[in-house]
Structure 1
């Protein structure tokens, strides 16, 4: 059984919310998207991503890793076509982080583009495990050993993505499968959360037993300054 919580907020600085989320409880598919492109374009891109996820997956009898990837690829095509029809939106795009959990097989699958993230907090653990890898300039520098993870948090180009839905004609989509167990907690979040809430505090809030842990996480980001839109989806396996 899965208990799902969700929350999103414009934050304390931005004028509009370019984040979007999708919770498809009938097929146990969850997604977050962080749009980019300025004015309304970012909001449109992230909305197109979650709309495509709903349209392609909501009515399916089963969902697999490839289905998640195909939804992201179809959204990429749709966004690129939108730019052709609306040249003023050149440069628009979105992150995409998708998760499917299959109660019957105790397994899950995921698909990912950009710098939103998927985490898991395993039953009995106090260590937050990051499943996805950021597609960003600073993440590449960290992996190369050029800068440290701490330096990446304040790097002037920390928001520069190397991959986004809508940015490439042939979009590579990271994906994978994982085992799931009762007591596991999964978190999908946009970078507005990670900018303000350290892993240790995320773990504490996920373990705190609050009525809506996703809302608690978003509120923590706002309390620290809320400089970006922030979105969280929490999936607890009972």
Structure 2
């Protein structure tokens, strides 16, 4: 049995929550899918973009049928499914963005997780993240941000301690609605007993350091309370953005 909970909050500075989230089960019942998306754009365009991403993903994921797929092939099949569906979402957002001035230029990040047995297949576009928490080893970030500052860090021109003071700390280099030939990065991970998966928008990670996230994730709290505590911590630290979290315990 999988225990999970989502929590989303507008934060303390925004007037609209442009984050969206969703979950579903595959057609044959063997895979559980989860998604968190963080929209961007003028007016309510960010909300439209993130909701389009979630709705499209759930539509496709609920039709995924693993009944005739060999278990050993599932990680590869799920990886391909996530990559293909991300491009489908991208095309749908682009089409909607051409439908009216208020939607022009809208986009969204997304972090996706598919749970099959003790395997987690995780995909991301943008700076929404996935972590795996373990009581003995702490917390590990699985995804790699598609952001300007992450590129600077990887090239040795910026340290992680300097990120919060960088003028382009919120600039992302990849988003649904602007993918072009770029797609999702996908990671396949084994999940051990007692480990938890965290999906979140950057409204959490920009406000709460990884060590504090680890303390909450590994603090023997039920998934519902863990989500609420993560949201509260982000708001207590400023709450400058919308905050969405999903805690999943396979």
2:17 alignment partner in structure 1: 17
SS at match of 2:197: strand
Deviations 1:172-222 (A, max 9, x none): 221121111211111000000011111111111112233421121011101
Deviations 1:138-168 (A, max 9, x none): 1111111111101112211111111100013
State whether structure 2 residue 168 is matched by structure 1 residue 157: yes
Q: Could you say what the CA RMSD is over the residues aligned between the two structures, in angstroms? A: 1.4
1:77 and 1:169 in contact (8 A); partners too? no
Q: Hey, what does 2:55 align to over in structure 1?
A: 51
1:144 aligns with 2:155: yes
Map of 1:178-193 to 2, 5 A cutoff? 178-193=189-204
Structure 1 residues 67 and 123, CA gap change in structure 2 (3 angstroms): farther
Q: Distance in 2 between matches of 1:120 and 1:7?
A: 18
How far apart, in 1, do the equivalents of 2:230 and 2:135 lie? 19
Aligned residues of 2:213 and 2:230 also touching (Cα < 8 A):
yes
SS of the residue aligned with 1:4? strand
Q: Name 1:29's counterpart in structure 2.
A: 33
Match for residue 90 of structure 2? 76
Determine if contact 2:42/2:102 at 8 Å carries over to the other structure: no
1:122 aligns with 2:134: yes
Count matched residues: 234
1:17-52 CA-to-partner distances (Å, cap 9, x unmatched) read 000111225531111100001211000000000001
* Aligned match for 1:90, one of 104, 107, 112: 104
Runs of 4 or more consecutive aligned structure 1 residues displaced over 4 Å after TM superposition:
none
Q: Does the residue aligned with 1:146 lie in a helix, a strand or coil?
A: coil
Q: How does 1:212-227 map to 2 (within 5 A)?
A: 212=224, 213-227=226-240
Asked whether 1:107 is paired with 2:119, we answer yes
